[in-house]
Amino acid sequence: MPAKTTSNPPQPGNRYLNYVLFMLTLVYIFNFVDRQLLVILQESIKKELKLSDTQLGLLSGFTFAIFYVTLGIPIARFADKHNRRNIVAGSLGLWSIMTAFSGLAGNFIQLLLARIGVGVGEAGGSPPAHAMISDYFPPEKRSTALSIYSTGIYIGILIGFLMGGYLNQHLGWRTAFFVLGAPGILFSLLFYVTVKEPKKGATDVMASTPGETHSLSTVLKLLFSNRVFVFLAAATGLHVFCLYGLLNWAPSFLSRLHGMKSADIGVSLGLIYGFGGGIGTWTGGFLTDRLGKKDKGWYLKIPAYAILISILFTAGTIFLQNIYLTLFCMGACAFLQSMYLGPSIAVAHSLVPASMRALTSAILFFVLNLVGLGFGPLVVGLLSDLFKSSFGAESLRWALTIIFPMSIAAAVLFFTAAKKMKIA
């Protein structure tokens, strides 16, 4: 009598896998429409509510990030134990409602509270989605799948900047929050009805024990005892500092130093970041999955090389006076700076069992967003206010030069992580 074998149940067909990835990517698009909408509206908000650059940095960066990353960890721990589809759908509904409420703000505190609500909602978006993707797609396809999902960042920026800039110029910033916040509420219901929860560890060779859970301290100890993760987390944090330092101040930079109008800025930045960032994100995943078959170090060397090259285009963005050259350089930055995310998540997930993946994403995003999203826009805003007495309208230009040393440090850390990965 033949011996019994155990195996995972058959995986869903490619059509359904692609549908789930498409739906999760749409959720991420809504995430970044709502997150970055404030950025394209901030000059109008600043004038009406009489805000400083430091306050704008708090709104678009630190205050959002602190709630986003702090709540991301307990939500991800909950997701590793329970239904991740439900968490993603509920989170999307919450942050969409709070985006719409942002249009009702009458002062800085009210807008701050609304943005905190957006951060609370979005804390439950990505870590559970990352874990679902890793359970639907096998290891050799994960970096590409996660990179496709991550293109939602730039498609969301494209829509948010295009629509936000147009609505801001013609109907006002409050209407922009209402119009772009409401659709996510309806989409959360569609997502809940049509997407299924995958089996944890379904695509792994060594699947996790069903129902297996791990304490936060256990996961933290495992991750931070691994030098690859330590250097990877530090690298992504510093890199995202540069990415958001430039992205969140790009509309103000183009308005103040190049005299562009809101709708023109929305179109320009939407196309630049939507296409440049989206293509760069996909390219990063594609190249690392191809080159990483023979040398896993390429998963982190590709982002490192991209960052080093991006420094030249960052300099062009900041200092060139011709608007077309400035926009070209900004597009090159968007392409190169976006190549890190899919490979970084894939590497982080490769270091842990399936039952730790949502929490691992949350911990990586804690560092990435606290350092990057939290301090990038805030530090640039503080430096801009600090330099104003010396440089006047040029203060924002010189504040953005903080990106140069931070980019070099990020590239060095990515290379170091790649070397540790090869040793391991």
Q: What is the distance of C-alpha 200 from the center of its chain?
A: 24
- Taking the C-alpha atoms of 264, 268, 269 and 273 in order, what is their torsion angle to the nearest 10 degrees? 160
383, 399 in Cβ contact below 8 A?
yes
Task: Report the C-alpha gap between 88 and 208 in whole angstroms.
Answer: 22
pLDDT value at position 2? 46
pLDDT value at position 213? 60
Beta-carbon contacts of residue 190 (< 8 Å; ≥ 6 apart): none
pLDDT value at position 237? 95
Tokens (6 digits) for 358: 């949502």
392: burial class by Cβ within 10 Å (0-12, 13-18, 19+)?
Answer: exposed
pLDDT under 70: residue ranges of the chain? 1-13, 200-214, 422-424
Residue carrying the six token digits 């809940």: 192
Q: What is the distance of C-alpha 257 from the center of its chain?
A: 27
Residue 187 lies in a domain: yes
Residue 4 lies in a domain: no
Residue 5 lies in a domain: no
Number of domains in the chain: 1
Domain span holding position 153:
14-199+212-423
Beta-carbon contacts of residue 185 (< 8 Å; ≥ 6 apart): 93, 96, 97
pLDDT value at position 130? 85
The Cβ-side half-sphere exposure at 29, using a 13 Å CA radius, reads 19
Residue 206 lies in a domain: no
Residue 1 lies in a domain: no
CATH code for the domain of 317: 1.20.1250.20
Task: Report the C-alpha gap between 331 and 260 in whole angstroms.
Answer: 17
Residue 284: other Cβ atoms inside 10 A: 28
Residue 21 lies in a domain: yes
pLDDT value at position 63? 80
pLDDT value at position 176? 94
Beta-carbon contacts of residue 60 (< 8 Å; ≥ 6 apart): 38, 39, 42, 248, 377
pLDDT value at position 104? 93
Residue 279 lies in a domain: yes
Tokens (6 digits) for 241: 């500092």
Residue 330 lies in a domain: yes
pLDDT value at position 277? 87
